[in-house]
Chains A and B, each alone.
Chain A
Amino acid sequence: MLDFISDHANEIVQLTTEHMMLVGIAILGAILVGVPLGIMVYQQPRLRTVILGLVNTLQTIPSLALFAILIPLPLIGGIGARTALIAMVLYSLLPIVANTFAGLTGVNPAVREAAVAMGMTDRQLLWKVELPLALGVVFTGIRIATVMSVGLATIAAAIGAGGLGMFIFRGLAMLDTRLILAGALPAAAMALLANYGLSFIERRIGGRYAPMRQGS
């Protein structure tokens, strides 16, 4: 086993890096699209059903199928990392959009009323009060999306996006358990680390004023 690791050390490092890049870029994209969408869903009740319905539907498509569906599409499709990233962003939208919406909706109405009564404009209300108070819940969505994306990125190897899935698919083809584990173990570790790391930040954000969120 040690021999195997030393033989493949470079490749393990390279694929792990690729994997992290895939997840990182996809989550960044999902935040940039998902948080504004969540704010829109909150502020425009008319768009609520449409947008939430859409991101919910995306989530019901099996991930391998979503990758496959995107390949033949012009401009965004094709084999490679770009298609995989688009699929991963789409997949990550639901937790981020839904949690942004939930976080904003969950702001204590008395706090919101006080802010409006104090003469805040809609923009000030959003940036100074609603978003900071929703941040903890938004972050939960980002954490869920990240952990999900680590798993999803392993499948992305099926459409030539690289990452630790390369080991897993090769291992499956060659019936080599060590190769499968070389992909699966770092991916699992990455998911766990992302979960713990982000939960820690999440508690730092939410914990300071959590007692006030529930009560008055």
Chain B
Amino acid sequence: MEGMASAVEFRDVTFQHASGRTVLSGVSFTVREGESFALIGRSGSGKTTILKLINRLLDPSGGDVLVDGKSTRQWDPIRLRRRIGYVLQDIGLFPHLSIAANIGIVPTLEGWEPSRIDTRVKDVLQMVGLEPGDFMNRYPHELSGGQRQRVGVARALAADPPLLLMDEPFGALDPITRAELQQELKRLLAALNKTMVIVTHDIPEACVLGSSIGLVQEGKLVERLPPAKFLQSSHPEVQAVIRSLTIQNVIHE
């Protein structure tokens, strides 16, 4: 990854709630093109806030967030968001729109030709392992949780954005479906050369999907390492997370 341009960069970023509560302080990191950065940490540690600062759902209170080398403050938020795919835990599929219309939403907003949208929708459905003929005309409530998540990923990929943001995308799924989707997403990322920032509270998921893992603790990025090194980190919070994992494994045996 040496020499690759930075896709996302945080420079000493601080974020305070309107209430005055500090959510993030002094967060700095760089995600290069094609890299995948997994953020882990306890609930309320500030992981999701980091994502929302990237697509400008939030503006930093201090410091700078750069996307493609340009501060998000200088980006037109609409333009910025249309080149970032976003998958959130609750998916947020549009219940009144068919699966095809859901997936085609950003291309539609971008004014693509209907025939081009149709082709693209079929392509991304296939990419996420759903048969276009079976799914295009159905509605979100007719789908299982795993299928909806696939549609959510397909929707994020539709306009072929260079950057993907995922907020616990598979959190609500059963472990088997979850592992399947993780593997498929990993394969897709490698094939499409996307940059990704993913929030998860699941270490195995972070190891599968992240080329590096960052630990967020009380609004600070306290550790950032490649998966293999991360698991050997002596940081007490990393140790705590890994211990929780080990105990789970013991119970499962």
Q: Which residues of A contact B (CB under 8 A)?
A: 108, 110-121, 124, 129, 132-133, 208-213, 216
The interface bits of chain B over 53-66 (1 if a CB of A lies within 8 angstroms of the residue's CB, else 0) are 00101000000000
Q: Verify A114–B91 contact, CB threshold 8 A.
A: yes
Cβ-defined contact, A116 with B109, below 8 A: no
- Name which of A108, A112, A114, A211 has the most chain B CB atoms within 10 A of its CB: A114
Nearest chain A CB to B39 CB, angstrom units: 17
State whether B92 touches A209 (Cβ < 8 A).
Answer: no
List 9 contacting pairs A-B, 8 Å CB cutoff, sorted by A: A114-B91, A117-B165, A119-B78, A119-B109, A208-B139, A209-B96, A209-B140, A209-B141, A216-B91
- Bound complex: CA of A135 vs CA of B105, how far in Å? 20
Bitwise interface map of B from 77 to 96 toward A, beta carbon under 8 Å scored 1, else 0:
11111101010111111111
Task: Known contacts A116-B57, A209-B139; decide if A110 and B109 are in contact (CB<8 Å).
Answer: no
Please measure, in the bound complex, the distance between the C-alpha atom of A115 and the C-alpha atom of B94, giving whole angstroms.
8
Tell me the complex Cα distance, A182–B92, Å.
Answer: 53
> B160 to nearest A CB, angstroms?
14
Q: Choose among B78, B82, B94 the residue that contacts A129 (Cβ–Cβ < 8 A).
A: B94
CB of A121 within 8 A of CB of B86, answer: no
- CB-CB nearest in chain B for A117: B86
Closest 9 A/B residue pairs (Cβ): A114-B92, A110-B90, A212-B95, A119-B81, A119-B82, A209-B95, A110-B92, A117-B86, A211-B141
Tell me if B109 and A114 are in contact (CB < 8 A). Answer: no
Which residues on the A side are within 8 Å of B109 (C-beta)?
A: 118-120, 124
The verdict on B106 contacting chain A, using a C-beta distance below 8 Å, is yes
Q: How far is the CA of A41 from the CA of B168 in the complex (A)?
A: 34
